[in-house]
Structure 1
């Protein structure tokens, strides 16, 4: 299991206030020995029945996602990252007009209610969401890790 190396503060900016949530980022490097540096991680959001995908470029976070998919307990499991408008083809998150910025993505221990919700709720959200708001669905599980 990778060592935890830093604590970070994740911010969700909403209307006129900031809500913080503490999270933990994982170390770079893969315990599995597979050092491919990019993966498309698929999450199932159970309340809505929707799936969304995040392109992950940190080997330690990829390894962490694989551990979660294998059923690991006691490790950070809340996906968190800043959303951005996606290009028309959106290969990273098909079916949506948004994606999570790869460089902002991590797993946290807790999140703010203001960044929770269904993936379709992000699509239907206001334009100011993009590049300012973190998405952190509370009930989303890793269901696939496709290393590239």
Structure 2
């Protein structure tokens, strides 16, 4: 069986450094055998490459890619608290917030960027429950934000 770290290597993915909080919270915390993350934005090297509302300034395709980046940031935060990516045994719950134009209804497709990543890295253990929610605005005008709950050993 391929470990999550081996799968990341196969995919050519390196977990980013844990993003610094933009307010008064921690990126992730352990509660028993679970790790919960705070909302993670699609930061790359400390900046947002894309800002704006999905369905207006941001296309659904670009937002889906941003969802994948935010999911990597969530994995990095969870792995940091868990003691490494290989300590994460299951992705339990994913919440995806999408800053949406009032007419945009494709939030589930945007959220697939995160869900597909978890499936690629964890296989069957990456199958999870999920909410994809449209919101009026997100911090720093980010198009997406991801929260993650995972099981650890």
- Give the TM interval when normalised to the shorter protein: under 0.3
The TM-score normalised by the length of structure 2 is 0.26
Select the structure that is richer in strand. Answer: 1
The TM-score normalised by the length of structure 1 is 0.27
Select the structure that is richer in helix. Answer: 2
